[in-house]
Amino acid sequence: MDDWFPQALKLTTRAIEVGGIAIIVLGTLGATLAVLWQLLQGRGLDDVFGLYRSNIGRAILLGLEFLVAADIINTVAIEPSLESLLILGGIVLIRTFLSFSLEVEIEGRWPWKRHRPEPGGKGRGPGDLAVDGADFRP
């Protein structure tokens, strides 16, 4: 390959890493400002705390996606070795666990129960079927 291509890949990887870090930092700052605004508006501390945790969790998840993308580019295109592949596998496993844990924390339920209607809820949810006016819940 030409000499410019590996350098361009390294620059791209660094830019994606900086983007991931920026997302986490700016997301945390934005969540903090949103919480302070909600407190000034008179919302309860319990409501505000849940909102804060959700927003920070979302920022971390999105930032982690960018950081993992940078690691994939680095492992596949820049330093393709068995050691870097094993490190990438470990990073992806950790990221998957963090993502799963954060999603459970943010949503307050297991991911596979996402589209289930609430018990005693009215109307149809995304997982419900209706045939000739009759509701069927799988």
Q: What is the pLDDT along the chain (138 residues), one digit of tens a residue?
A: 578 888 888 899 999 999 999 999 999 999 999 999 999 998 888 888 888 988 898 898 899 889 888 888 888 877 778 887 888 888 888 878 887 887 777 777 776 776 655 555 554 444 444 444 444 344
Q: Quick check: is 3 in a domain? A: no
Q: Quick check: is 136 in a domain? A: no
Q: Quick check: is 66 in a domain? A: yes
What range defines the domain where residue 21 resides?
Answer: 15-113
Q: Please, are residues 92 and 119 in contact by the beta-carbon 8 Å criterion?
A: no
Amino acid at 63: G
Amino acid at 6: P
pTM of the model: 0.68
Q: How many CA atoms lie within 13 A of 51 on its CB side?
A: 16
Q: What is the DSSP string of 59-96?
A: HHHHHHHHHHHHHHHIIIII---HHHHHHHHHHHHHHH
Q: Please, are residues 68 and 16 in contact by the beta-carbon 8 Å criterion?
A: no
